[in-house]
Amino acid sequence: MTRILIGLVAAMMLAFSMATIAQDAAPVDADATRADSNAAAAANARSQDQFRGIDQDVQALKKEVLDLNRDLFLLEEELLFPANSQVAFFVSLDVGEYFELDSVSLKIDGKEVANYLYTAREVDALMRGGVQRVHMANLKTGRHELIAIFTGKGPHVRDYRRGATLYFEKGIGAKYMELEITDRVKKQQPEFVIKEWE
Amino acid sequence: MTIKNVFFGLVLSISAATGLASSGLEGQPAPDFALKSSTGENLRLSEYRGDVVMINFWATWCGPCRQEMPLLDELYSRYERVGFNLLGVNIDDDSYRAMQMIEELGVNFPVLFDSSKTVSELYEVEAMPVTVLVDREGTVRYVHHGYKPGYEDKYLDQVRSLLRE
């Protein structure tokens, strides 16, 4: 019982002393805050003129960043956006009486990019009106050279090898080119034409 | 025979003899290709989808190929009418020698010329001969490196089981 009483008294004394400390501490905090705010105000007043100068610099920098961002966006659109840099090459055969297609070889800017051998079934499909995508490339904007070399059997079942060249301008946006083999009835010879799809 | 051919043959023989050749192609879709054949026609592997196809890579300078080819031709003649095709892919630089050897051996299966070695690279050909079996779905099922007497029995069993699928 005595122990419980001693414990109770000790707890009350501890609580009282804590409250006293809190009361003593409160005025000290308030004073410190006031002092800090005064100091901050003084510092603000002192640096206000400097801030105006810096603000102008930041605005100028922001403008430069926006300009750079616009340039980067345009550059990205021009170079990195794959769908826009695509060029697809298609082969079609119209009639095909004077030419039996064997293979097509494509060179872009002097570099061989495709070499396709046609089976009898594939030639038959082309003769029935099929269009074959022979190659797909990603090209930069600007001028490019396309050379298509066609080999096969020409009139009188003779080995035939013909080339067609086209310079084309690659702009923004996908581009489609058709390599068309047609019959020139007047000359009884095949004709090889490269066309750009609009 | 050029020095290049001799060297290439030597490397392939050593790798076949030491059993270094292994293929990661089994279970994978067979890489498609189109090559000029001995008849002048272009043949494309994907056009044989639905049939069991054996692709046999060979060269004129390879002794075991000479042994194996007539046996493969027998297999081809026997099962051709039930959906089995055999494509012999010759890897010589000069197709003229290959044509001579075909005539000499009297084989009837289509022979294709891969003088640029693009198809043999696709099929990771590291020995000579290499025989690849492709199922009706176009998946590589078996790859055999080299040839020893008795291999033809293995081919027969595998072709028969693939035709049954």
Chain B residues whose beta carbon lies within 8 Å of the beta carbon of residue A121: 44, 47
Q: Please give the torsion angle defined by the CA atoms of residues B131, B133, B134 and B140, in that order, rounded to the nearest 10 degrees.
A: -80
Report CB contact under 8 Å: A119, B34.
yes
Is B65 in CB contact (< 8 Å) with chain A?
A: no
- Per 3-state DSSP, chain B is made up of helix, strand and coil in percentages (nearest 5) of 40, 20, 35
Q: Given the DSSP bridges, would you call strands B84-90 and A111-117 parallel, antiparallel or unpaired?
A: unpaired
Chain A residues whose beta carbon lies within 8 Å of the beta carbon of residue B35: 117
Chain B residues whose beta carbon lies within 8 Å of the beta carbon of residue A119: 34, 41-44, 47
Other CB atoms closer than 10 Å to residue B38's CB: what's the count? 18
pLDDT band of residue A80 (cuts 50, 70, 90) is: low
Which residues, in sequence order, are CB contacts of A154 under 8 Å at separation 6+? A98, A99, A160, A189, A190
Is A118 in CB contact (< 8 Å) with chain B?
A: yes
Is A153 in CB contact (< 8 Å) with chain B?
A: no
For chain B, the straight-line distance linking the first and the last C-alpha, in angstroms and rounded, comes to 43
Q: What is the mean pLDDT of residues B65-94?
A: 94
Least confident of B4-8, B98-102, B128-132, B142-146: B4-8
Amino acid in the structure at residue A20: T
Is B42 in CB contact (< 8 Å) with chain A?
A: yes
Rg (CA), chain B: 15
Asked whether the predicted pLDDT for residue A49 surpasses 80, the reply is no
Report CB contact under 8 Å: B47, A119.
yes
Chain B residues whose beta carbon lies within 8 Å of the beta carbon of residue A120: 41-42
Other CB atoms closer than 10 Å to residue B128's CB: what's the count? 26
pLDDT band of residue A26 (cuts 50, 70, 90) is: very low
Q: How many residues can be counted in chain A? A: 198
What pLDDT is recorded for position A138?
85
Chain A residues whose beta carbon lies within 8 Å of the beta carbon of residue B113: none
Q: What is the mean pLDDT of residues B45-72?
A: 94
Is A112 in CB contact (< 8 Å) with chain B?
A: no
Is A103 in CB contact (< 8 Å) with chain B?
A: yes
What pLDDT is recorded for position B86?
96
A window 70-99, beta carbon within 8 A of B: none
Report CB contact under 8 Å: A117, B42.
yes
Tell me how far CA of residue B117 lies from CA of B35, B43, B64, B99, in angstroms: 11, 16, 20, 17
Which residues, in sequence order, are CB contacts of B83 under 8 Å at separation 6+? B50, B51, B52, B136, B163
pLDDT band of residue A22 (cuts 50, 70, 90) is: very low
What pLDDT is recorded for position A61?
92
Is A56 in CB contact (< 8 Å) with chain B?
A: no
ipTM value of the model? 0.73
Chain B residues whose beta carbon lies within 8 Å of the beta carbon of residue A122: 44
Asked whether the predicted pLDDT for residue B6 surpasses 80, the reply is no
Report CB contact under 8 Å: B41, A121.
no
Q: How many CB pairs under 8 A join A and B?
A: 21
Chain B residues whose beta carbon lies within 8 Å of the beta carbon of residue A117: 34-36, 42, 44
The H-assigned helical ranges of chain A are 2-79, 82-85, 120-127
Report CB contact under 8 Å: A119, B44.
yes
Is B44 in CB contact (< 8 Å) with chain A?
A: yes
